[in-house]
Structure 1
Amino acid sequence: MKINIVNPDLNELGYVIAIANIKDKHDTSAPSDYHWKILKCRMIIFSNSSILACPDKNDVKQVHIIFNKAGDDYDKLISLFVKFSLIQNGGIRSATPEIYQKCFHYTMTARIAPVWNTLQDNYLINNRDFLVTRGPQEAVKYCIVVNDTFTVIEVNAVKINLMLTEEEFLPGEWIRVLPSLNKAIVEDSYKDFSQGSKFKSYKNLRRHWKNIHGYRLPENESAYYSIQFWRGEPLLYPKQCVLRNFPIVIPTSQPLEKLIISRFVTCLTSKMANVLGTKLIFKLEDIQPEDSKSLAPKDCLLETQAVSLCTPTQYSRSQK
């Protein structure tokens, strides 16, 4: 299925880069500078529905923001900069399809969580309690492409099994972490939250995952793991966000596929009724068999068997 969303006139949009003040006293849910920048970006998104934004993946302080130059959106944005201790870096730039795609993508995933939860950069699981749900769960694989006229979201319905386990992870074991599925190694395990943590309580940790990733951790605590990536300091992860293997992707039947995609469209139109101050206008278009290649991952979603997700790219988010 293709969802063709009519873009605002890109010539009427402004694009600015904001710099987060990492010297601020950090909120307890964002102990690192990189997480502090992400939190500020999400605060901007949820403070003004007329703005699209995304954190820069490679810079610890930068946030990309797109706004409508008509009206008073820029004045409102400057007020938010003052409120959230952000500084505009340079002047107002032109909004290109590339930066529009990045900001639309991130804003969309922020707004539709926790109904739809991010896994890697191209899967969304339709279950608020997906972290504690065993077996296949309904999801979509998607790809966003932006041109001067449309934002095209290609969607394919699937089921995803996270392969959750009751077994404990052992120091020295290689694992995958949510949501990126990046590879890392278990440095140590803890039963007591106070050990090896920059967070003051499990409540703070739950706020971290909600504010940074949109995930809702269960109310009951479990084991914790100190996870070491290929560089940077170890990070504390709750057991629910650590996987031993890649999740399994399972194709769906055509009737179920239509139902899952319908739920996705309904949520999208509810959570993003307006884009940059204009009503969301889109049309649905069935993907023909010859078009299905655009949605197929490198290892292909075979119709006859379940397959593992493809190996992810290392993101700087896991390196901070």
Structure 2
Amino acid sequence: MLIRALILMLLPTLCAAQVRYGPADLRRVEERAVPTIIAVFDEDILGNLPREMRPRAAGVTLDFPLEGPSPLSFYAAPATQTISMPLTSIRFFDDVATLFAWFEARGCEPGFIQSYLWGLLREGRPYPAPLEAFAIDRETALADPFAGDVSGKILSSGIQFILAHELGHLLLDHEAGMEGAASQAQEREADAFALDHFARLGGAPMGVFWYYMAAWWQDPVTEGRAASTHPVSPERIDALAWRLGKSPMDFAHGEADPAREAAFVREIAGMLDELSGLIDDDGMLTLMPLTLDRDFPSSRFATACPSG
């Protein structure tokens, strides 16, 4: 209860198993990713805030603890005006982005990724880190032109969305410890705040879809969803899809080819809309894990889409 009272988390923690990375992996995150994240936060996010918000935002700091409550958790602490970005969560999201991009590049069955995420985040199965579980060499995957480009875009826009979302919690004076409808309303407001940021930049929040594709396994299903403090609910996803689909050019005007980017934004909106329908189908959420375990078992992860 103390943690809940102190922080506003983007995601809840249920029975997710923690993923372990070696010291060298986390040093790489600290040396390469952290400086970039700080620069993005200072220059792209704070630097593009409306002027009236900047004095208040100047007191917000970033923290990079080793681990969070789960492999995919990012959170804000109103009492200290701090946004925490755990090194393990950054690396995990990086790996997941690489997985999605590599599977797409190679034409592999993405059901295996969902099976992995369900087992790890929902069931708490002690799986290895994503790339290790699928026998994918990171450097080989990122050397592929398509996979390297797409994974980078998923990661960079996803992290930027998370930062803006958590900043929204702080600048909108959201209360920690809220539950049910009040908490869900706060989450939608923070999502809208993050989308406002992307609209000011004129860029697509590409990573938001793949982030929520992974994150929804950590949320309660059926009756439990209504009481969740920070749900990836159908209403949240619907709001994101509606905003992107209604005004795609808002998220494309800063790109070299706005018309092409606007078409891509509409595509993201459509994928979010489809995801919302899936999350809202309690029967599907009950049956899908059975299908994943049967058709995409962990015994086949290493041969599903290897890089060797």
Normalised to the residue count of structure 2, the TM-score between the two structures is: 0.30
Q: Whose helix proportion is higher, 1 or 2?
A: 2
TM-score (structure 1 length as normaliser): 0.29
Rg (Cα) greater in structure? 1
